[in-house]
């Protein structure tokens, strides 16, 4: 620039010297102007020079870098499933082994549960016998009650029939028989009186003896006495004997019916009590069986198998010396403690964090290029699946947000915790006027850029920025396409 400027200025002075407008001067001036225009066009059409950048317009494709760690999309934990009990490890799967679903992972000592299980089984057998005895007693009681109630019901029915027979048949028949006897006695009395009256004239004439007459009179008196006795018996039968007998039969029927009701209620209560005893025995047996099942379940839990395939990873614990180490055979762990973790290597993800300024470029579903430090020669791909909604900052660093990337490829050699270097392809910015990030300056008044000139000093110009990538930033206003900006300067603006 410094070498060209004197020549250009000299040509410019000659081209603009109109004090002696001669034909020669005019020709020289025309040639100088053409040379000046050629120099200016050549200078303006030049590419980026060291320390400068030509403001361009085009499409920006932001690429957000990310360094994360490899992890399994799904990981199952296995350990002691019995809460509140300390269990000793008798056998443990080798760490780093690929296991299949159903493979044994851990064997705990089942001794703490064996004695309880034996006691529960013995108690269950005893309660099963008690329930059977109670059931047999219930069956016998039901049979006995059925017989007693049937007999009482038969007796009550018999009393009802006897009473009905007495009222409807026996009593009327006895009364009719008594009335018939009275009629018969009246007939005999009438015959005796008539015979006696017929003998009276013959006695006076002496045709019949006094003894024969007295015998006829005695027969009349006997017939009258028999009639009176029959009438007295009939009155007693109708007024006292038959009503008393009916009342006794009615009382018997009532007592039989009441006894039947009492017996039925007593039988129902006895059967209900026996049924309750059977139900209670059943409840106690069910509880005992539940304890047996619980004991068997606890012993079953002592053998831990894999629910799904994965890579065996041993957990860590603190030993008595306070040192952190891997769990091994012979250690005792409490219920709920994780002993082995099985990450599923068939689906891997990458977890990392993205700085807040880069977040606007990202959206779920964007493609990702991945490279693992453990396999630098392999080019992998993935998809951005999740962007966290809560940011965080640590140790006074810029705020960042968690992201999750699903890896398209898998390999038995991949291991959780491997370092993954990713490049997330962000949403493109179309038709943007852009400059490098290094060309942007800031001071207390805002942002600016250093605009260079071939024929003058570098000037600071205020600019308004838009979206950005890791290398370039969009210029909304303040610069025009084709202008040059200075890179790498950090001095403050002295312009507007």
Alpha carbon 289 to its chain's center? 26
Residue 205: pLDDT band (50, 70, 90) is: confident
> What would the pLDDT profile of 431-453 be if each residue is shown by its tens digit?
899 999 899 999 988 999 999 98
DSSP assignment string, 354-410: EEGGGGGG--TT-EEEEEETTEEEEEEEEEEEEE-SS-B--TTPPPEEEEEEEES--
Mean pLDDT, range 193-222, rounded to an integer: 83
E strand or H helix at 113, and its extent? helix 111-165
3-state secondary structure at position 450: strand
How much is the pLDDT for 307? Answer: 92
Q: Does residue 319 or residue 104 have the better pLDDT?
A: 104
This prediction's pTM: 0.53
CA–chain centroid gap for 383, Å, is: 31
If one compares 74 and 3, the residue with the highest pLDDT of the two is 74
Chain segment 256-314, per-residue pLDDT in tens:
889 989 999 999 999 999 999 999 999 999 999 999 999 999 899 999 999 999 999 99
Is residue 161 scored above 80 in pLDDT?
yes
Q: What distance in Å separates the CA atoms of residue 349 and residue 328, rounded to the nearest whole number?
A: 29
Q: DSSP states of 312-359 as a string?
A: -EE-EEE-TTS-EEE--TT-EEETT-EEEEEE-TTSEEEEEEEEGGGG
Contact of 188 with 226, CB cutoff 8 Å: yes
Mean pLDDT calculated for residue range 347-358: 89
Q: Is the pLDDT of residue 5 over 60?
A: no
Q: Between 458 and 394, name the one with better pLDDT.
A: 458
Q: pLDDT band for 201, please (50, 70, 90 cuts).
A: confident
User: Which of 350, 325, 344 lies closest to 419 in space, CA to CA?
Assistant: 350
Q: How far apart are CA 449 and CA 475, in angstroms?
A: 10
pLDDT on residue 3: 37
Structure tokens at 173: 């028949």
Residue 461 pLDDT > 80, yes or no? yes
CA distance 494 to 53: 20
The answer, yes or no, to whether residue 475 has pLDDT greater than 90, is: yes
Phi-psi map region of 482: left, alpha, beta (phi>0 left; psi -120 to 50 alpha): left
| Mean pLDDT, range 32-43, rounded to an integer | 37
For tokens 């606890």, what's the residue?
A: 298
Residues in Cβ contact with 240 at an 8 Å cutoff, skipping those fewer than 6 apart: none
In the CATH scheme, what architecture does the domain 113-298 have? Orthogonal Bundle (1.10)
For residue 105, pLDDT over 80 is answered with yes
CA–CA–CA angle 343, 347, 353 (5° rounding) = 85
Q: So what's the pLDDT on residue 48?
A: 58
> How buried is 189 (Cβ within 10 angstroms: 0-12 exposed, 13-18 middle, 19+ buried)?
buried
Mean pLDDT calculated for residue range 93-120: 92
CATH 3.40.1000 correct for 77-108+303-341:
no
Whether the per-residue pLDDT at 35 is higher than 60: the answer is: no
State the chain's mean pLDDT as an integer: 84
Q: Is the pLDDT of residue 405 over 60?
A: yes
Residue 474 has pLDDT above 80, yes or no: yes
Q: Are the C-beta atoms of 106 and 263 separated by less than 8 Å? A: no
């Amino acid at each position: 620039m410094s070498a060209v400027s004197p020549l250009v200025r000299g040509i410019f002075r000659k081209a603009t010297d109109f004090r002696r407008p001669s034909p020669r001067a005019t020709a020289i001036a025309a040639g100088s102007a053409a040379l000046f225009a050629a120099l200016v066009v050549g200078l303006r059409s030049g590419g980026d020079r060291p320390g400068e950048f030509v403001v361009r317009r085009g499409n920006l494709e932001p690429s957000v870098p990310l360094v994360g760690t490899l992890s399994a999309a799904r990981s199952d934990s296995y350990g002691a499933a019995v809460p509140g009990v300390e269990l000793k490890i008798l056998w443990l799967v080798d760490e780093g082994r690929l296991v299949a679903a159903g493979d044994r992972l851990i064997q705990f000592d089942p001794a703490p549960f064996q004695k309880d299980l034996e006691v529960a089984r013995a108690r269950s057998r005893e309660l099963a016998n008690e329930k059977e005895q109670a059931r047999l007693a219930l069956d016998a009681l039901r049979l006995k009650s059925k017989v007693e109630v049937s007999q009482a019901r038969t007796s009550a029915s018999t009393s009802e029939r006897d009473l009905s027979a007495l009222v409807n048949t026996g009593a009327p028949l006895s009364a009719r028989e008594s009335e018939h006897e009275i009629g018969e006695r009246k007939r005999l009395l009438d015959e005796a009186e008539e015979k006696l009256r017929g003998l009276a004239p013959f006695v006076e004439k002496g045709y019949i003896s006094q003894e024969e007459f007295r015998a006829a009179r005695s027969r009349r008196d006997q017939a009258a006495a028999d009639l009176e006795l029959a009438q007295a018996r009939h009155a007693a039968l109708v007024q006292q004997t038959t009503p008393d007998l009916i009342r006794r039969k009615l009382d018997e029927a009532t007592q039989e019916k009441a006894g039947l009701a009492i017996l039925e209620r007593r039988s129902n209560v006895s059967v209900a009590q026996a049924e309750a005893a059977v139900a209670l025995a059943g409840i106690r047996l069910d509880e005992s069986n539940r304890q047996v099942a619980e004991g068997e379940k606890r012993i079953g839990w002592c053998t831990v198998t894999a629910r799904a395939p994965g890579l065996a990873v041993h957990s860590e614990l603190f030993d008595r010396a306070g040192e952190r180490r891997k769990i091994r055979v012979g250690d005792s762990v409490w219920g709920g403690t994780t002993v082995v973790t099985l990450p599923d290597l068939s689906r891997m993800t990458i977890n990392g964090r993205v700085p807040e300024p880069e977040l606007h470029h990202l959206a779920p579903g964007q493609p990702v290029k991945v490279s693992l430090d453990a396999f630098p020669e392999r080019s992998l791909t993935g998809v951005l699946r999740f962007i966290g909604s809560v940011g965080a900052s640590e140790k006074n660093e810029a705020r960042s947000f968690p992201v999750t990337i699903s890896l398209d490829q898998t390999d038995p050699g991949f291991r959780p915790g491997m370092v993954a270097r990713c490049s997330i392809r962000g949403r493109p910015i179309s038709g943007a006027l852009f400059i490098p990030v290094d060309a942007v300056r800031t001071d207390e008044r805002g942002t600016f850029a250093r605009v260079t000139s071939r024929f003058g000093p570098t000037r600071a110009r205020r600019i308004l920025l838009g979206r950005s990538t890791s290398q370039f930033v969009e210029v909304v206003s303040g610069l025009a396409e084709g202008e040059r900006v200075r890179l790498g300067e950090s001095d403050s603006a002295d312009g507007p």
